[in-house]
Amino acid sequence: MDYSYVPLHSSIDIHNRCCGGRIWCVKDICGFVCAFLTWGLLLFAEFVVMRVILLPCPYPVFSSINIVIFQTLAFLAFSSHLRTMLSDPGAVPRGNATKEMIQQMGYREGQMFFKCPKCCSIKPDRAHHCSVCQRCIRKMDHHCPWVNNCVGESNQKYFVLFTFYIASISAHSLFLVINQFTICIKHEWRECSPYSPPATVFLLLFLTFEALLFAVFTMIMLFTQLSAIWNDETGIEQLKKEEARWMRKSRWKSIQSVFGRFSLGWFSPFTKPSFKSKFEGHFYSV
């Protein structure tokens, strides 16, 4: 039996939303701090790569190619971050466990279903309650403070892209910073940067540390996400070692349920994945 959500009243649920309910936004201070920190670190990398490494570089071809690569990755990483943060991860409407709604969904008297006591919603299979978002999230993987949002059914693609582009930009920055160190040491720190040698060393070392840390962290995260999608099992389900009550999709179907049909749009944070049916496969435990 497959049920979709039919709102009983047309008023917009403004919980976790801003701009008149149009944009999803979790109001969590810790999440905001982490998200701003992510942007700050991206801006710092932007400053060092451009002002210390690429703009003063005497080789225009090398400099131009790397500026294009770096700026493209920075733009895609920032856009993926914003999209993950501001997309509804798949929140179940709050307080929909009403008699009226239960009848509308076709439950008969005596039938069993899961109800979340915290947000008073009819809990679809594979949904979990997030204490930060204060909502039940469909196919919730985890709550990530770096994107100040849950990673769930409706925004997992953007989160995977975010980890992919941050891992790529970190690897590119590492290549640039190691190359710059080699040049500076070769020229005994003369004419290797518009800044003094101690300032240059500090900026390059900090960028090395940042790039290394984020390359490792996001690559692990990316691998974990891809393996979860491959096995059609969310992070929470893996952690709880839950017995699969749901019908596991084939590998290809599972990938398509996150990224949509294969196209270049898979790599774009601006393309919403296209599904055959948004609510396909949401069975309620009865």
Work out how close the CB of 153 gets to Zn ion at its nearest, in angstroms, rounded to a whole number. 13
Handedness of CA 104, 24, 13, 233 (dihedral sign): positive
For Zn ion, which stretch binds (CB under 5 A), given 149-157, 180-188, 226-234, 240-248?
A: 149-157
* Residue 130 interacts with Zn ion (CB under 5 A): yes or no: yes
Query: Least distance (Å) from Zn ion to the CB of residue 84?
Result: 12
Closest of 86, 85, 81, 93 to residue 127, by C-alpha? 93
Interface region with Zn ion, contact rule CB under 5 A, candidates 48-56, 78-86, 135-143, 197-205: 135-143
In the block, residue with structure tokens 């596991």: 248
The 10 Å Cβ neighbour count of residue 249 is 14
Give the range of 46-54, 125-133, 184-192, 271-279 binding Zn ion by CB under 5 A.
125-133
Among residues 90, 114, 116, 113, the alpha carbon closest in space to that of 5 is found at 90
Residue burial 197-210, b: 16+ Cβ < 10 Å; e: rest: eeebeebbeebbeb
116 vs 192, which CB is nearer to Zn ion?
Answer: 116
- Taking CB under 5 A as the rule, does residue 236 contact Zn ion? no
Nearer to Zn ion, 144 or 207 (CB): 144
If binding is defined by CB under 5 A, does position 118 make contact with Zn ion?
Answer: yes
Taking CB under 5 A as the criterion, the residue among 143, 157, 172, 282 binding Zn ion is 143
Chain positions 241 to 260 lying near Zn ion, rule: CB under 5 A, are none
Q: In terms of C-beta density within 10 A (0-12 exposed, 13-18 middle, 19 or more buried), how is residue 235 classed?
A: middle
Closest separation between CB of residue 184 and Zn ion, Å?
44
The yes or no reply on residue 129 touching Zn ion (CB under 5 A) is: yes
Q: Which of 210, 237 has the CB closer to Zn ion? A: 237
Question: Which distant-in-sequence residues (6+ apart) come within 8 Å of 111 by Cβ?
Answer: 286
Enter the DSSP assignment of 191: S
| Among 91, 97, 133, 151, interactor with Zn ion by CB under 5 A | 133
Task: Tell me how far, at minimum, the Cβ of 52 lies from Zn ion, in Å.
Answer: 38
Out of 34, 50, 82, 132, the residue judged to bind Zn ion by CB under 5 A: 132
What's the closest the beta carbon of residue 138 comes to Zn ion, in angstroms? 11
- Respond yes or no: is residue 19 known to be catalytic: no
Q: Which of 110, 118, 139 is nearest to 233 (CA)?
A: 139
DSSP letters of 79-105? HHHHHHHTS---BPPTT---HHHHHHT
Instruction: Work out how close the CB of 113 gets to Zn ion at its nearest, in angstroms, rounded to a whole number.
Output: 13
Q: Which of 57, 119, 130, 144 is catalytic?
A: 144
Please say whether the beta carbons of 141 and 225 come within 8 A.
Answer: yes
Residues lying near Zn ion in the complex (CB under 5 A) are found at 116, 118-119, 129-130, 132-133, 136, 143, 150
**Residues tagged active-site:** 144
